[in-house]
Every structure is written in C-alpha cells, then in structure tokens.
Copies of this chain bind each other. A is one copy, B any other.
Amino acid sequence: MRDAFQGELDHLRNGLVEMTQLVGFAMARATNALLEADLALAESVISHDKAIDQRRDELEEKACDLLVRQQPVVATDLRTVITSLQMTADIERMGDLALHVAKVARMRYPASAVPPEMVALLMEMGHLAQRIVTKAGSVVASRDVSAALELEASDDEMDHLHARMFRTLMSPDWPHGIQTAVDLSQLARFYERYADHAVSVARRVVYLVTGEWPVSTSD
C-alpha cells in the first residue's frame, strides 16, 4: 500500500518535470517567434498552450484522486501531494507567460516588436529563462535543496535585466516611441514573472524537503 503510494508520488513528480519541459519549450519558441517576427511559430505557441493547461488538469486530477484513494496518513505524504498541486499551478502560469510573449509577436507582425538594438537584451532574458526553467525541472526531479537555493541567484539576474530594460526605455534619448516602450516593458515583466514562478517551484521543493521556507534573498 505504502509502496503503491510512493509509486504514484513518483508519477506525479515525473508529470511535474515534464510540465517544466513543456513550458521551457514554449518560452524558447515564443522568444524565437518574438525576435524573428515569425508568425507561424507564434501561432504554434499560442495554440499549444491548451495542451499545457490540459496537462495541468490531468495532474490535478491525479493528485486529488491519489488523496481520495490512498488516504495518506503520514503528514509529509499529504504535504507532498498538496505541494505538487501548487507547483502545477506555478508551472501552468509559466506557460501562460510564454503565451503572452507569443501574443506580442503576433500583434506586431509583420513588424518586429523588438528594435534591433534591443534584441541582445531580450535574447539574454530568453536564455536566462531557459536556464531557470531547466534548473527548476532538475530541482523537482532531484529534490536538491542547494540547487533550489541557487535559483534565487538566477532570479536576481533576471531582475537586473528587467531593471536594465526599464532604464533603457525610460532614458530621455529613447528613439522608438511609446508603443515599442510599452511592448518592451510588458515583455520584460513576462520574463521576470516567468522566473518568479520558477523560483516559487524551487522554494516549494525546499519546503518539502526541509519543512522550512527558505529565507528569500530578494523581494
């Protein structure tokens, strides 16, 4: 009985890792669609978001089903299932943020939302998002607390890129007008929130393993 329960918890965990891969892939493709003004790719990211939502529904269903059927008597088992549900919500939200990036690409097509001299910064945000989501996936798989804590540093890095974007587009000699500035400020926020949710996933892993919430290094 207990073994069966552990087996199902492992299944749940694998499902979460897979979901991080899906939303990582979605953000990678959304970033490409954005930087290359690739409408077909943007449309593909947008339509694929439903599959991520569906995966979330399946995992939620599975977790609830597990609680009803197996009636965990050990508090930590219960906590694992509840935390998985919360991680599912975080990861699904990361998928939404990739979707938002793709929608900006689609809205500005055939133009690009990103002026040439801002491409490098956006690309940096995109690459950092990939590193962060990959790390979050490994943390879910390995339950490695020190790797989880490292994620906060990567998140600080994203906050710096976000701040740099804002400084650039609010500088008095910004040449690209309001629409581009607003687009870029929204995009920067999408990447920043994406990283925040990945950190939230990692923090939940720390809580699962140690029973304590990690002290946040940033606010």
A interface vs B, CB < 8 Å? 64, 67-68, 71, 73, 75, 78-79, 82, 85-86, 89, 166, 169-170, 174, 178-179, 181-182, 185-186, 189
Contact = CB atoms under 8 A, between A and B. Distances in A.
Number of copies of this chain in the oligomer?
Answer: 2
Contacts of A179: 170
Task: Please report whether the interface of chain A is mostly helix, strand, loop or mixed according to DSSP.
Answer: helix
B82 A78 contact: no
A166 to B, nearest CB: 8
Contact of A89 (B75, B89, B182): B89
A182 B174 CA distance: 13
10 contacts: A64-B79, A67-B67, A67-B82, A85-B85, A85-B86, A89-B89, A169-B178, A170-B182, A182-B182, A186-B189
A179 B181 CA distance: 9
